[in-house]
Amino acid sequence: MSDKHNAPETLKAIQRSLGQSIQVPLLIEKESGDYEVQVEKYDILVLEEMVETKTLSGAERLSTYNQQYWFRFLEVMREEYPLLDGILGSVEFNRMVSAYLNRFPSSSPTLRYLSVDLVKFLRNEEHEWKSLLYEQCAAFEFAYIESFDAAEFTPLELGSLDENMLDLNLTFQPHLKLVTADFDLVSMRGRVKREEPLLETEKVQSENPFYWAIYRRENKLISFALGRLQFLLLTYLETMPFGDAFEKLVSELEEKEIQFLAKNVKLWFALWASQSWFAEPEV
């Protein structure tokens, strides 16, 4: 089945013009957070089409949609990024989100993926929110969004790790997300959710990175702290059989770490399997 008939040209033109107008950014004042609509930037075509009322001009009527556009998005982003909001403060958060959505407007039918390009924006674009903390925080909180409603395949029943598994290509549950950061984001997010103030020391880059697996268990989102070697092994397992992943990791380690790995790998594997991180391959 297809939909090949063409839309009226007048409909295309008015939708283009109305769309341009309602996404004109609100001017958010840096200190107070007050905002202004920029009606002078609305497109002329749609302005000339607007029916005025006794009390409202066409531009004033149109501004209802302009404001709703931004309020809706700011509210959704604030719900999805409590830590980033807590770190930036609400006014800066609103300014950053406005700049992001101005650069990367939504193309998804669902508001849950409004922020799909946020990490890219924070990492690659020139703006005043260039910061490793903001970027890593965005990646961390997006992992929660992705994990929440990702598929869950039948868990793979595994015995204990032995030599027969060296050629095994493991499939991870789609809701398992591996995340690393230079800040203790789990602790910080917990603090924000409990409405406690963040500590300035928490915002300083740590000497040792943090590693987590974010996944779903009985429909609850869990952030599970990993060691560096666990994280690296899991990362390699995403793309290669167990034996190759293990060899690759060993080739990067010092003797002391190799001994630690050898001593613990069976335990780790059993733990991961017990959390159902591995899945039957999708048919």
Partner 1 sequence: MRPAFAKDLGIGVGLRVPHLSYVFEHWPKVDFFEIISENFMVDGGLPLDNLRRILEHYKVVQHGVSLSIASAEPLDFDYLKRLKALLAITNAPWVSDHLCWSTENSHNYHDLLPFPYTEENAKYIAEKARIVQDYLERPFALENLSSYISFKSSQMPEWEFYTSVVEQAGVYMMLDVNNVYVSSVNHSYDPMDYLKYLPMDRVIQTHVAGHTELPNGTILDTHDDHVKKEVWELYRYVDQQSGGVSTILEWDAHFLSFEDTLAEANIARSYRHER
Interacting residue ranges for partner 1, rule: CB under 8 A = 1-5, 7-8, 10-12, 14-16, 18-19, 22-23, 48-51, 53, 55-56, 58, 60-62, 64-65, 68-69, 72-73, 105-111, 114, 148-152, 174-175, 216, 219
Q: State the angle between helix axes of 242-251 and 255-274 in degrees (0 to 180), rounded to the nearest 10.
A: 150
Between 5 and 30, CB nearer to partner 1: 5
* Shortest CB 189 distance to partner 1, Å: 19
Q: Map tokens 């990490």 to a residue.
A: 119
Give the separation between CA 17 and CA 47, rounded to whole angstroms: 9
- For residue 221, the cross-strand partners are 216
Between 32 and 107, CB nearer to partner 1: 107
* Shortest CB 197 distance to partner 1, Å: 28
Give the helix/strand (H/E) hosting 171.
Answer: strand 171-172
* Shortest CB 50 distance to partner 1, Å: 6
Residue 99 near residue 127, CB atoms below 8 Å: yes
* Shortest CB 281 distance to partner 1, Å: 16
Indicate the DSSP class of residue 5: P
Q: Measuring CA to CA, which residue among 64, 134, 132 is closest to residue 99?
A: 134
Give the separation between CA 115 and CA 58, rounded to whole angstroms: 32
Between 16 and 266, CB nearer to partner 1: 16
* Shortest CB 26 distance to partner 1, Å: 15
Q: Measuring CA to CA, which residue among 224, 230, 279 is closest to residue 257?
A: 230
Between 134 and 144, CB nearer to partner 1: 144
Q: Residue 188 has which token pair?
A: 């910080």
Between 149 and 167, CB nearer to partner 1: 149
